[in-house]
Amino acid sequence: MNNIFHHLQLYTYISQLVAAFGINDLFHTPWEGGYYKLRMIFKEDYPSSPPKCKFEPPLFHPNVYPSGTVCLSLLDEEKDWRPAITIKQILLGIQDLLNEPNVKDPAQAEAYTIYCQNRLEYEKRVRAQARAMCHQEA
């Protein structure tokens, strides 16, 4: 995990803090070579409530909604969110989720179906996505 915080950018809006950065440390996985832009939106009551994490553009992945929003129990107040969870832990959780989808909590029907029924086709689609996203920094 050499450089998970690649190109960190912070923006402040009226009542939110937004952090935008790329995840590109997925060596030896179908995701290798891609640069995945993730936006974290923090509410005023953070860390009492988790940030909203969204890939821009949205990713083909069973646990990423078509809008790009990440579906991860760590980011859900009703499930595993705790105020002590750090931004680094969130990013590492998302990074792990990319290569190890949670089939018990799907968010994207097409990616979920292909992942469950034809793993080789799923990995082929992920590799194509990684190639398409390899130089989208900035």
Catalytically annotated residues: 71
Q: Residue length, the chain?
A: 138
CB of 126 closer than 8 Å to CB of 134? no
Longest dimension (CA), the chain: 45
Q: How far is CA 18 from CA 69, 91, 107, in A?
A: 14, 14, 23
CB of 32 closer than 8 Å to CB of 26? yes
Burial of 72 (0-12, 13-18, 19+ CB in 10 A): buried
